[in-house]
């Protein structure tokens, strides 16, 4: 019997989380081995390691508690990786030397896979004088371009990169350029952007008052606050960025407001962090805790089970602080001083469905608040118990801590326990993106998002080079089918495409009441939503107590829609990059070419063809996409001028195909099948029908050595991306990792529904 609820779950485990040797040989034989590896590693810091290993294993078993991907993949592997998902880097100095010191720190952090956030508000605006040199400042956006290039370089060097977040205050003189940056689709592609919105700015917007753009003591420009707000809204309406972070609310509600000031978040926004702040993440899978699903009043989340699971999860996460490596010593010191953790949930929408509640309804919002309140209580009480045993976090000050914004609203018994015994972790709750781990858990709904699609069809590449299709079904929908067969889904089944935007806001606000950090959530808006209604979403989010707001409106820039298996559902995807008319009015779509970093890794091969005076040299360069190395370009050189024209043509054609992404192994098969009527040759004991076939063999050898192909002869016979579709079914960009047309906006990140690849790492 398999523990996996769906085939895609096992595939995600094997691809993302299964511990393997350097040559790809599995070291985790089963998912139980993975759970045992994680449990043993996180229990190793305990005095009674054997006892806690069993407790941790029980929490992990059957996907009830889901540590974030870096913990699941890295714990117990002895590899030099960080188990922390997200970092905010140090304050950027307003000097050339300081800026590039920060760039170096960012590179070291990203090299270990951490996502990073930066506030660029500390850099003087464009045109400001620079003392000591006869020049004007180039401004923060020019340095963001340098960060963007660094991120591309780290990715091309073979490391699994994290994403980057850039923030800028709403009163910075360059804020208008920052807002408009993503209008250029080629600029800052490695960044998510968010504007830091202050309470005085929102008051000025409401009053339609003036707003000063300042740096230091100088006022550079005065604008109308409402005009600036409309520019922010128009940019995110058109380009889905920048996001909005209500920074004053974040600082006022911070448990640590007495010893830190926050000016940035991690890439997806759920972790507002101080300079060098780091946070690890994990999620309780509510969908696995529902008893008597779909049985009217009997259906419920077991509160006893949830309480026990939360307490165990908090202990596990606290241990990660001690078990993890850190890219920088400053990050390690910050983590040890405050011991932040970010425990959240996933499968919320599925759990609501299983309890007969419509996502977005008042009843669902109330139940969400009830569940999150219980999780917060148990998390804080568990941390108090840890403080009794192991001590409070070093910067704990009872009076100041209990006077903070979040703690003022905490239950009296919890406050008294903290005053008496202290608390181990300064902050405990956060709701992070869970796209990949949700697939791993059986395609449960992500985080607090609604069900995205009831089902969709996924193409899977088999070892023999063929592709099969499989249906991927939402966890709750599959449970309904198992229980009731083909019976029609009840009216309370809703999805992201049918919900009103303000229903999303209602759910985010309900969850935020009991989350001491923040929430990663995407508010899906219909393409035809009016600009005024769109702006109302952000105003409502501010008024209802949200700490930030991220929306997604499909359009010609952000993406069109892609049909999924049920005719009433649509999936946002990105716009088609290239279309050519075909017979009968159909269109053949190809994906947008992959970007070329400045540096690539590759290898050069010498091919000596019998009876040829000069050898042919093949250079094959690779790009790293989604953590995997794949061919990107080919150069073919020879001193034999007879070969010049066709080798140049072949170089250009093969490179163009490689840059389109997807599974390009069909190139090997096509080349190997070329027959020369003048006869082939025997090379190393094998008959090769032509020099082109020999070139195909060299490319295949390279693909096998880099892991792109599993072995010789395992390439595809046809191009998997040469799909003919109807004009009324527009397609977006293909996933850069697997080539499938299934990119969707989930929790603020473009994410592939087929393989789990995420823009945010």
pLDDT value for 756: 64
What is the percentage of the chain residues whose pLDDT exceeds 90?
A: 57
Of 348-352, 463-467, 489-493, 751-755, minimum mean pLDDT range: 463-467
What are the beta bridge partners of residue 388? none
Domain annotation covers residue 36: yes
Token reading at 570: 């649509």
Host domain of residue 401: 1-85+279-521
Q: Say how far apart CA 525 and CA 541 lie, in whole Å.
A: 14
Active site residue 270: yes
Cis peptide before 725 (omega within 30 of 0): no
**CA 75 distance to own-chain centroid:** 20
Between the alpha carbon of residue 668 and those of residues 464, 614, 618, 678, the distances in Å are 14, 23, 14, 21
Tokens 């994403």 -> residue: 163
Q: Say how far apart CA 278 and CA 109 lie, in whole Å.
A: 11
Q: Catalytic residue, from 254, 266, 443, 495: name it.
A: 266
For 158-179, what is each residue's pLDDT tens digit? 445 568 999 999 999 999 999 9
Looking at per-residue pLDDT, the higher value among 494 and 469 belongs to 494
Q: Is 212 helix (H, G, I), strand (E, B) or coil?
A: strand
Q: Is 201 helix (H, G, I), strand (E, B) or coil?
A: helix
CATH code, domain with 304: 3.20.70.20
Is residue 324 domain-shared with residue 453, that is, in the same domain? yes
pLDDT value for 121: 97
Q: Catalytic residue, from 268, 546, 738, 749: name it.
A: 268
Is residue 292 domain-shared with residue 398, that is, in the same domain? yes
For 81-134, what is each residue's pLDDT tens digit? 788 878 999 999 999 999 999 999 998 888 777 789 999 999 999 999 887 766
Domain annotation covers residue 371: yes
Is residue 242 domain-shared with residue 306, that is, in the same domain? no
Of 99-108, 717-726, 740-749, minimum mean pLDDT range: 717-726
Of 119-123, 391-395, 592-596, 613-617, minimum mean pLDDT range: 592-596
Is residue 470 domain-shared with residue 572, that is, in the same domain? no
Between the alpha carbon of residue 368 and those of residues 87, 113, 374, 438, the distances in Å are 28, 32, 10, 18
> How many other CB atoms are there within 10 angstroms of residue 364's CB atom?
26
Q: Say how far apart CA 209 and CA 223 lie, in whole Å.
A: 9
Per-residue pLDDT band for 609 (boundaries 50, 70, 90) equals confident
Domain annotation covers residue 571: yes
Domain annotation covers residue 711: no
Token reading at 514: 């009991």
Looking at per-residue pLDDT, the higher value among 7 and 746 belongs to 7
pLDDT value for 625: 75
Looking at per-residue pLDDT, the higher value among 406 and 593 belongs to 406
Reported as type and span, the H/E element at residue 315 is helix 303-323
Of 530-534, 556-560, 719-723, minimum mean pLDDT range: 719-723
Per-residue pLDDT band for 306 (boundaries 50, 70, 90) equals very high
Q: Say how far apart CA 643 and CA 487 lie, in whole Å.
A: 66
Domain annotation covers residue 574: yes
> How many other CB atoms are there within 10 angstroms of residue 676's CB atom?
13
Token reading at 759: 């823009």
pLDDT at 367 exceeding the cut of 80: yes
Q: Say how far apart CA 351 and CA 293 lie, in whole Å.
A: 8
Tokens 């996001």 -> residue: 243
Q: Catalytic residue, from 105, 241, 270, 592: name it.
A: 270
| 345 DSSP 8-state letter | E
Domain annotation covers residue 530: no
Q: Smallest Cα–Cα separation from 201: which of 171, 178, 231, 230?
A: 171
Q: Say how far apart CA 381 and CA 375 lie, in whole Å.
A: 10
| pLDDT average, residue stretch 367-393 | 98
Residue 544 contacts residue 505 (beta carbons within 8 Å): yes
pLDDT value for 281: 94
Q: Is 355 helix (H, G, I), strand (E, B) or coil?
A: coil
Token reading at 403: 């006077």
Between the alpha carbon of residue 405 and those of residues 161, 250, 254, 255, 517, the distances in Å are 35, 9, 6, 7, 12
Give the residue from 465, 500, 521 where a domain finishes: 521
Domain annotation covers residue 533: no
pLDDT at 258 exceeding the cut of 70: yes
Token reading at 607: 């091919």
Is residue 410 domain-shared with residue 284, that is, in the same domain? yes
Is residue 567 domain-shared with residue 679, that is, in the same domain? no
| pLDDT average, residue stretch 351-377 | 97
Is residue 310 domain-shared with residue 379, that is, in the same domain? yes
What are the beta bridge partners of residue 606? 617
Per-residue pLDDT band for 637 (boundaries 50, 70, 90) equals confident
pLDDT at 150 exceeding the cut of 80: yes
Give the residue from 705, 722, 752 where a domain finishes: 705
For 509-520, what is each residue's pLDDT tens digit? 999 999 999 999
**CA 426 distance to own-chain centroid:** 25
Tally of domains in the chain: 4
pLDDT value for 753: 65
Q: Where are the alpha helices (DSSP H) in 409-553?
A: 412-421, 435-440, 475-484, 501-512, 531-543
- Secondary structure string (H, E, C) spanning 584-613: HHCEEEECCCCCCCCCCEEEEEEECCCCCC
Of 22-31, 198-207, 736-745, minimum mean pLDDT range: 736-745
Of 375-379, 703-707, 728-732, minimum mean pLDDT range: 728-732
* Tally of CA atoms within 13 A in the half-sphere of 712 that contains its CB: 5
What is the dihedral sign for C-alpha 362, 365, 371, 377? negative
DSSP 712-730: TT-S-SS-TT--EE-TTS-
Is residue 630 domain-shared with residue 509, that is, in the same domain? no
**CA 634 distance to own-chain centroid:** 31
Q: Is 631 helix (H, G, I), strand (E, B) or coil?
A: strand
Is residue 453 domain-shared with residue 486, that is, in the same domain? yes
pTM over 0.85: no
Per-residue pLDDT band for 424 (boundaries 50, 70, 90) equals very high
Give the residue from 504, 521, 538 where a domain finishes: 521
Q: Smallest Cα–Cα separation from 170: which of 87, 240, 226, 92?
A: 226
Looking at per-residue pLDDT, the higher value among 443 and 745 belongs to 443
Token reading at 348: 């919320």
Domain annotation covers residue 531: no
* Tally of CA atoms within 13 A in the half-sphere of 679 that contains its CB: 5
Average pLDDT in the chain: 85
Is residue 605 domain-shared with residue 739, that is, in the same domain? no
DSSP 66-106: EE-HHHHHHTTS--S-B---EEE-PPPPSSHHHHHHHHHHH
| 287 DSSP 8-state letter | G
Is residue 577 domain-shared with residue 610, that is, in the same domain? no
Q: Smallest Cα–Cα separation from 747: which of 538, 560, 520?
A: 520
Looking at per-residue pLDDT, the higher value among 496 and 122 belongs to 122
Backbone angles phi, psi at 99, to 5 degrees: -60, -45
Reported as type and span, the H/E element at residue 471 is strand 467-473
Active site residue 266: yes
Is residue 627 domain-shared with residue 679, that is, in the same domain? yes
Residue 512 contacts residue 270 (beta carbons within 8 Å): no
């Amino acid at each position: 019997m398999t523990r996996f609820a769906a085939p895609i779950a096992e595939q995600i485990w094997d691809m993302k989380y299964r511990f393997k040797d350097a040559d790809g040989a599995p070291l985790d034989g089963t998912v139980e081995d993975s759970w045992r590896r994680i449990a043993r590693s996180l229990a190793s810091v305990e005095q009674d390691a054997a006892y806690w290993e069993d407790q941790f294993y029980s929490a992990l078993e059957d996907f009830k508690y889901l540590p974030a991907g870096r913990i699941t993949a890295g714990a117990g592997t002895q590899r030099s990786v960080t188990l922390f998902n997200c970092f905010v880097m140090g304050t950027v100095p307003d000097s050339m030397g300081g800026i590039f010191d920060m760039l170096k720190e960012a590179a070291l952090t990203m090299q270990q896979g951490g996502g990073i956030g930066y506030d660029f508000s500390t850099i003087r605006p464009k045109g400001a004088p620079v003392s000591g040199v006869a020049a004007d400042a180039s401004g923060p956006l020019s340095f963001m371009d340098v960060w963007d290039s660094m991120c591309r370089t780290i990715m091309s060097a073979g490391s699994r990169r994290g994403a980057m977040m850039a923030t800028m205050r709403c009163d910075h003189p360059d804020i208008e350029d920052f807002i408009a940056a993503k209008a250029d689709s080629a600029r800052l592609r490695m960044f998510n952007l968010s504007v830091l919105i202050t309470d005085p700015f929102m008051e000025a917007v409401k009053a339609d008052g003036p707003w000063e753009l300042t740096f230091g003591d100088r006022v550079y420009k005065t604008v109308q606050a409402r005009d600036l707000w409309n520019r922010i809204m128009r940019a995110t309406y058109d380009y889905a960025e920048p996001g909005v972070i209500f920074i004053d609310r974040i600082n006022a509600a911070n448990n640590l407001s007495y010893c830190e000031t926050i000016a940035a978040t991690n890439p997806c926004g759920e972790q507002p962090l101080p300079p060098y702040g780091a946070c690890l993440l994990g999620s309780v899978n509510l969908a696995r805790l529902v008893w008597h699903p779909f049985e009217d009043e009997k259906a419920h989340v077991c509160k006893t089970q949830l309480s026990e699971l939360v307490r165990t999860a908090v202990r596990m996460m606290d241990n990660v602080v001690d078990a993890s490596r850190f890219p920088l010593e400053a990050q390690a010191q910050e983590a040890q001083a405050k011991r932040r953790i970010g425990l959240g949930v996933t499968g919320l929408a599925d759990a609501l469905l299983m309890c007969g509640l419509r996502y977005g309804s008042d009843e669902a919002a109330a139940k969400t608040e009830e569940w999150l309140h219980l999780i917060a209580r148990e998390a804080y009480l568990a941390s108090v118990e840890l403080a009794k045993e192991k001590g409070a976090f070093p910067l704990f000050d009872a009076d100041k801590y209990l006077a903070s914004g979040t703690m003022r609203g905490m239950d009296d018994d919890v406050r008294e326990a903290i005053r008496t015994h202290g608390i181990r972790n300064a902050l405990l709750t956060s709701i992070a993106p869970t796209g990949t781990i949700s697939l791993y858990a059986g395609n449960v709904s992500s985080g607090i998002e609604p069900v995205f699609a009831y089902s969709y069809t996924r193409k899977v590449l088999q070892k023999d080079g063929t592709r099969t299709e499989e249906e991927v079904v939402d966890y709750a929908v599959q449970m309904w089918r198992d229980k009731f067969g083909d019976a029609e889904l009840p009216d309370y089944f809703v999805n992201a495409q049918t919900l009103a935007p303000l229903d999303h806001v209602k759910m985010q606000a309900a969850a935020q009441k009991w989350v001491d950090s923040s929430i990663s959530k995407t508010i899906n808006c219909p393409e035809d939503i009016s600009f005024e209604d769109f702006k109302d979403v952000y105003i409502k989010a501010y008024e209802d107590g949200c700490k930030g707001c991220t929306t997604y409106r499909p359009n010609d820039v952000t993406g069109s829609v892609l049909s999924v298996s049920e005719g009433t559902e649509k999936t946002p995807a990105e716009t088609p990059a290239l279309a050519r008319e075909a017979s009968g009015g159909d269109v053949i779509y190809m994906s947008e070419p992959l970007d070329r970093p400045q540096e690539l890794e590759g290898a050069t091969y010498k091919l000596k063809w019998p009876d040829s005076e000069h050898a042919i040299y093949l250079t094959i360069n690779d790009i790293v996409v989604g953590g995997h190395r794949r061919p990107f370009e080919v150069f073919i050189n020879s001193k034999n001028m007879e070969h010049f024209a066709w080798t140049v043509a072949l170089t250009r054609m093969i490179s163009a195909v490689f840059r389109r992404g997807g599974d390009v192994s069909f190139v090997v098969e096509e080349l190997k099948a070329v027959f020369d009527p003048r006869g082939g040759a025997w090379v190393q004991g094998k008959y090769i029908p032509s020099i082109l076939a020999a070139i195909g063999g060299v490319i295949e050898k390279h693909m096998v050595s880099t892991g792109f192909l599993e072995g010789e002869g395992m390439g595809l016979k046809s191009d998997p991306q040469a799909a003919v579709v109807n004009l009324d079914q527009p397609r977006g960009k293909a996933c850069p990792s697997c080539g499938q047309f299934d990119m969707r906006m989930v929790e603020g990140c473009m994410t592939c529904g087929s393989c789990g690849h995420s823009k945010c790492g």
